[in-house]
A and B are shown apart, each in its own frame.
Chain A
Amino acid sequence: MGNRFRIGFHLAVAFLTLLAFVVVFGPALAPYDPLAQNLRNPFGPPTWVNWLGTDNLGRDVLTRLMIGARPALTGVLIAVGTAALVGVPWGLTAGYIGGLLDNILMRIADALLVFPGLILALVLTAVFGPSLKTSMIAIGFVYSPILARVVRSGVLVVRNRDYVVVTRLYGLSGWHRMWQHVLPNAAAPIIVQITLLMGLSLLAQIGLGFLGVGLQPPNPSWGGALAESFPYIIVSPQASIVPGVVVVLTVLSLYRVGDELRDRFTRE
């Protein structure tokens, strides 16, 4: 059982490594211009010319998936970065200081968590204009209370440990204590949560892209690929399969890595 468990992890890492390679080198390695149309060959099947076939406008699917990987993963980093920038100080402050401030900060988190995340992100995107950056920052804000609660839980466990208490004796300020001693020792669950949020962010990005408020066409995006193939789902359902499979594999890989990290930290 241990070996099967690990094989899943290694496959996930291999897939994510491949994805990272595509993100970095994809634009140079992509076989065709992602915008080049061939209206005489819509929904062409996989051939030696077009390995994954063509889309509704005869554009090469493989090229568009490769080019679309960069905004997909960039968006994830923006979302998770925003969630961390907002959520970590939020949870750290609430957990370390406690008392009334903790109550206030956590009630704000509870209130935000009540809202359906995607709807809130849609509203924010509608206000500030549709783009990848706006939509992913909005997603980051939506997920920041989740991270804040995880950070707070970790901080509550660590803040009264001996190695933290002893820092009061040699006059370390509360600010330094929070960031240099408490947070690093509460990092394990945060790291696990971040990998899970990466998967969620990607799904949210795909959803927003499908709704037309992410990266704008004709720029290739994974959500856009699903949106473009959706009108044809009755007559050409296969057009949704390839981008769908790529998204599923990416999210599953991120979750698998998160699971492995969680198990390792638990064993420690």
Chain B
Amino acid sequence: MLVGSRVIAIALLSTALLQPGAGFADARNNVLTIGLATEPFTLYPAMGVGGTDYPYLYSLFARLLTFDPKSLEPRPGLAESWEFSPDKRALKLKLRENLTFQDGTTLDAEAVKASLMNFKEHGRVQDLEVVEAIDVIDPRTLVVKLDRPYSPMTAILADRAGMIISSTALKAAGKDFDRKPIGAGPFMIKNWTSGSNMELVRFPNYYDKDSIKLSGIVFKFIANAPSLASAALSGQVDYAFGLDPKNLPALKANPRLRVAIEPSLSLNQIGIHLGYPPMDNVLVRRAVSMSIDREALRDVILGKDVGEGPTANMVPPTQAFKSSPQFPASIKYDPAKAKQLLAEAGFPNGITLKICASNGGVGTGTDVTDIEREQMRPAGITLDVVVMNSSACLQAYNLRREFQLWQGGWSGRPHRFMTYSQYFGTNGQYNKAKTRFPGVDEALEKIAATDDPEQQESLFADLDRIWVEQMPVAPLFWRPNFSAYSSQIAGETPNAQGKPDPTSIYFIANEKKK
């Protein structure tokens, strides 16, 4: 009898331990476990540039403005209202009442000013370079003065620059602020173990606390794609983001998971270093672009007909451009024409181009360059591929000019203007050679000076056309997000930008109990 009881006890214990989610997914404590492939380098918004940081940043920081998930139109955040001056050179913001940071200090107009000026002075992304001054009118009101008409400022304040940090905490923490930031977002950092996980706990005084159902979030860093898929399949995580699409069939077959292919402004690209000859020659750049079969590449990397398809533009093109004959011509695989362009550029016998690739993500490594190499061969282009880790690759490409090309991605921005100005403007952050493209700076100025959608659309159509003529970068295909959610959770709100905000998610069972 005793033996039989022991056997039953062992069987029950084993069954309990083998339940999906045992050990990590913790619906009873209302803590969501999320699996992601990338760990942030820093949690200090001004110091980071990674598009994959946003799930962490949205959880920790409240922004001055947010955006509608579908249209990306600005919505209230910490600022309950805003108003541009008629000349678009001043933006007045009215903050909500009784705002506090996670350390209990007051979040008022002075604190917002300090945060914005800190980003302007120290931010690695130059989104606030147009800010001339900030006037504090009263504790809830401030005016951001701009050195030129700049209607995209609302989109910028819905992005990194608008993530308000406690400057008091920044001064006190110094370098530790990277790992222990203080913001005003729905969650606060509890613990961060590099290479393993990050734990967040609920901030009880968040301005919109009623919309937050979770008690905490645990981010698990799972860089290896099969391991991330396995974690979702076994229930070790409730939500897996950034899955490799190769594993979707196995995930879809699991009845405990909901698989979603979510919209995104992300794309895969071949970066082109305009300062490294012969990439300063537009004929060579267009030859590179024409020698890639984007559709075949997309079919292999993502799956047949997955996502919005091939693209030669960095932003979703305007309807006017999509309807023009230039659009299909821009994505057409034409190695014969590419060879002809190379001959016109002075390379009748072909050319060898050095490209840096990193096997850290989907479509940024040899999974793509192996295919591109064969596709480009008929055009006379030989790819000399070097594989490094992604930060070493970027340094070698951006800072040391060791490569003419870079196999990478782009995570997108909430406003088309931001992408075009950063890549296409003469002083754009990613226009390392400060190349002046005809008509571009003028078009950008006009877009910034108006918020009339029709005027902007017409100007963007011009930029779309100039882009494919000049090809400063060779975008390849749009890359949607591949996510898997446990059937125990709901409430996710994927946004068109493709940078998920997990804070709206909740456990169905816990909500039903209330």
Contact = CB atoms under 8 A, between A and B. Distances in A.
Interface of A: 35-37, 39, 42, 56-57, 130, 212, 216-218, 230-235
B244 A231 contact: yes
Contact of B371 (A36, A39, A216, A231): A39
26 contacts: A35-B374, A36-B374, A37-B371, A37-B374, A39-B296, A39-B299, A39-B300, A42-B300, A130-B387, A212-B359, A212-B366, A216-B387, A217-B369, A217-B385, A218-B374, A231-B226, A231-B246, A231-B367, A232-B246, A233-B226, A234-B226, A234-B233, A234-B250, A235-B246, A235-B249, A235-B250
Interface string B183-205: 00000000000000000000000
A42 B249 CA distance: 15
A62 B304 CA distance: 26
Contact of A216 (B225, B229, B247, B385): B385
B377 to A, nearest CB: 9
Contacts of A130: 387
Contact of B225 (A39, A57, A231): A231
B461 to A, nearest CB: 33
Nearest to B247: A234
B394 to A, nearest CB: 18
Contacts of B373: 218
A94 B458 CA distance: 82
Contacts of B370: 37, 57, 217-218
Given A212-B387, A217-B366, A234-B229, A57 B246 contact: no
Contacts of B299: 39
Contacts of A230: 226
A97 to B, nearest CB: 45
Most buried by B among A36, A42, A130, A218: A218
Contacts, number: 48
B506 to A, nearest CB: 29
A235 B229 CA distance: 10
Contacts of A231: 225-226, 244, 246, 367
Nearest to B230: A234
Question: How would you classify the secondary structure of chain B's contact residues: helix, strand, loop or mixed?
Answer: helix
Contacts of A36: 374
B296 to A, nearest CB: 5
Chain B interface size range: 20 to 34
Interface in B350-377: 359, 366-367, 369-371, 373-374
B250 to A, nearest CB: 5
Contacts of B296: 39
Contacts of B374: 35-37, 218
Interface string B224-240: 01100110010000000
Contacts of A234: 226, 229-230, 233, 246-247, 250
Nearest to B244: A231
B300 to A, nearest CB: 5
A61 B374 CA distance: 17
Contacts of A235: 246-247, 249-250
A235 B385 CA distance: 28
A231 B244 CA distance: 8
Nearest to B374: A37
A56 B367 CA distance: 9
B193 to A, nearest CB: 22
A36 B244 CA distance: 25
A22 B229 CA distance: 38
Nearest to B358: A212
Contacts of A56: 300, 367
Contacts of A218: 366, 370, 373-374
A212 B229 CA distance: 22
B305 to A, nearest CB: 14
8 closest Cβ pairs, A-B complex: A234-B250, A217-B366, A218-B370, A234-B247, A233-B226, A37-B374, A39-B296, A235-B249
A56 B225 CA distance: 16
A233 B226 CA distance: 7
Contacts of B250: 234-235
A36 B378 CA distance: 13
Contacts of B366: 212, 217-218
B385 A57 contact: no
A230 B296 CA distance: 22
A24 B211 CA distance: 70
Given A39-B296, A212-B387, 18 more contacts: A35-B374, A36-B374, A39-B300, A57-B300, A57-B370, A130-B387, A217-B370, A217-B385, A218-B370, A218-B374, A231-B225, A231-B226, A231-B244, A231-B246, A232-B246, A233-B226, A234-B230, A234-B246
A165 B203 CA distance: 84
Most buried by B among A37, A42, A212, A231: A231
Interface in B73-126: none
